[in-house]
Chain A
Amino acid sequence: MTKRSASKKQEEPKDHPQRLHLVERQRTNDWSRPQAMAIPMEGYFALEQGRYGPIFPRTPAGHGFTIIAKIKPGTEDEIRQYGNKLENALAGDPHILAPLQLHYLRWVLFNIGPDKYFMYQGIFDTDFDKYTEDAVELFTQTGINTIFEKLEGFPMDWKTNVPAFIKFLRQHQCPSFLEYGEYPYVTAVEIKKALRLKEDFSDMLDQMQ
């Protein structure tokens, strides 16, 4: 399992002048031109220090995280039950996760040898590194913290120690080495606007029949 160590986070990445140039050139607003971005091992091109560590870049697939951690033995069923809980919570309030400006979230359980691991992957438009506390607040509201409590190494005093919660997230964040966007840099808001426009236009045509 690759896990970025604390010392690794503080290191300056190697210069990638050609890559930077390439990335700048590719970073266009042309949604019709699919793009990929290869990302250095550090998870970023140039070190930009955020409040809790380096800031990870926006890619053609948007902002995101991939948190991977080993679960405590015997907690798999409880973790799986969370799926139903969140489904019901969202049925009751479909906009509960709106502040994150999400595209997708994925929760996965998988084995490595005899051990069970948990993966939580999100793709969204907000800069997670900048709004981390808001995300943690949402995790609490939606009960995701109850899953985190089943993960090894999670600080059980997280309720009174949010920085420790954030540190755990960052220690278990595995940066992508490649991300791809079929419609690069398009936000969820823009997609929803386009769909609404299509719907309204379709309605208008129907009413003109």
Chain B
Amino acid sequence: MESTVLELDDIQHFLISRPPALTARYEFLMFHQPACGRAWLKGILDKVGTAKNVGSNEADSRWVTIAFTWNGLRALGVNETSLATFPEEFRQGMAARAEILGTTGANHPEHWVGSLGSPDLHAIVVLFARNLAERERSTREHRKYLVECHGVEALSSLNLEAIPPFNYAHEHFGYRDRLSQPAIDGTGDVPTPGSGPPIKAGEFFLGYPDESGTRPALPQPEVLSRNGSYLAYLRLEEHVGAFRDFLREHGETADEQELIAAKLMGRWRSGAPLTLRTDKDDPALGADMQRTNDFNYGTMDPYGYGCPVGSHIRRMNPRDTAENMQRRKMIRRGGTYGPPLPEGAPEDGVERGIAAFVGCASLVRQFEFAMNVWVNDPKFKDLGNERDPFVGTQDGTFDITLPKRPIRKKIKGLPAFTTVRGGAYFFLPGMKALRYLATLEDGS
């Protein structure tokens, strides 16, 4: 089958490649009047980065990404006939799908912050910057612009920044991040060994053939949906103090604590996979993208003696032990927020975590499947009473089983290491679609 030619000048840069940014600001917006929203969009259009520009060597210090909720498309003036052609899960929004996603208890939308679960949330604008000074400048500029745009209100915002040490991406618990990146057919990216073949562009961008070999029907009009993607946004607070307490409780020595941390994740904090390094960390392996994904579970670790079946990475990517994996892949973007908690310091009560986007062409088939089955199904792979130790909704009633010879170890009553503080479904339109939205007329 021929490779797809992607319209990189029409696709927002967000999912194709990571911008060379160390920091970002998310602003969550509400449009009080359609004309106000359109005027805001029209005035910021030239700052939106495309996949073509961000992938080039153009000297640029600004990349703006814009996405809308379904209510936001309506608030811009998209007509009801067109709105009805979007998939049901997107129309309902993330908060309404809480039970399906498993975001219950402390993770339930009634506890969310920043108006993220509100129907008033219409758009997100992401201001990327190379450094803090540039982010502050962008923030000031956008704030000034909002003052000029009557009828557009910033409901909330969140500052994102990498945490030290800066020489590799990692989150607050200390795990190396950004190890799994799907290679998209048509971008020329070569999958890292062990990652499977490139994935058809239609799994991430609307209007292209997907892994079924067909082009799924598009929401209408086509100019609005083509080259767009859906984004599932999650603001996940990380309870670093509770996590470190847990490691100390279950490991007497530093090495034992590292092993427990690795068993929960499925990788050592360096990124080295447990399936390849069962008993000892290998930081060089963790950092080597040509080796760190080169493994499977079916033949190399069928019973989970290395990587437990219930560990985070084995749930989120069961590799050769699940069906139709090419149809479940997603692109993750985002970063850390909040100050790091110094090693040895007690929990300070300051919110810190990950604010991430999952990009895909079908929220129900890709993101919701992952949340419903891989993350929160206690019966996943016949485990019986377990959920994902990091992303799953934990309330102290679930376990994690660590297969071990001669006798497995079962830790009962896993505490919540994270709390979902908010989330939303967005549509990330292509450039032509943004221009279409900016020039809509009332009732069109």
Seen from chain A, the residues whose Cβ lies within 8 Å of a Cβ on chain B are 48-52, 99, 127, 130-131, 133-134, 137, 157, 159-163
Contacts and interface: CB of A to CB of B under 8 A. Distances in A.
B212 A163 contact: no
A47 B105 CA distance: 17
A160 B215 contact: yes
Given A160-B217, A161-B216, A161-B217, A130 B365 contact: no
A131 B323 contact: yes
B364 A163 contact: yes
Best-buried of A48, A133, A137, A160 by chain B (most CB within 10 Å): A133
Contact of A133 (B87, B216, B327): B327
A163 B214 contact: no
A160 B218 CA distance: 9
Interface of B: 87-89, 99-100, 212, 214-217, 323-324, 327, 364-365, 368-369, 372-373, 377, 379
Contacts of A137: 323-324, 327
Nearest to B380: A130
A49 B373 contact: no
Contact of B100 (A49, A127, A134): A49
Contact of B323 (A52, A99, A160, A161): A99
19 contacts: A48-B99, A50-B100, A51-B372, A52-B364, A130-B369, A130-B373, A133-B327, A133-B365, A133-B369, A134-B323, A137-B323, A157-B217, A160-B214, A160-B215, A160-B216, A160-B217, A161-B216, A162-B365, A163-B364
A13 to B, nearest CB: 15
A131 B373 CA distance: 8
A137 B368 CA distance: 18
Nearest to A48: B99
B372 A50 contact: yes
A26 B364 CA distance: 34
Contacts of B215: 160
Contacts of B88: 163
Nearest to B372: A51
Nearest to A58: B379
A162 B323 CA distance: 17
Nearest to A187: B382
A90 B175 CA distance: 46
Contacts of A48: 99
B377 A130 contact: yes
A81 B372 CA distance: 38
B383 to A, nearest CB: 13
A50 B372 CA distance: 8
B369 A51 contact: yes
B231 to A, nearest CB: 18
A133 B366 CA distance: 10
A201 B323 CA distance: 33
Contact of A163 (B87, B100, B372, B377): B87
A157 B216 CA distance: 9
Contacts of A160: 214-217
A32 B419 CA distance: 43
A189 B432 CA distance: 52
Contacts of B100: 49-51
A146 B35 CA distance: 49
A49 B99 contact: yes
Contacts of B364: 51-52, 163
A65 to B, nearest CB: 18
Contacts of A161: 216-217
B386 to A, nearest CB: 15
Contacts of A127: 377, 379
Contacts of B212: 159, 162
A99 B320 CA distance: 12
Nearest to B211: A137
Nearest to A129: B372
Contacts of B324: 133-134, 137
A162 B87 CA distance: 11
B373 to A, nearest CB: 5
A130 B212 CA distance: 19
Nearest to A47: B99
A131 B87 CA distance: 19
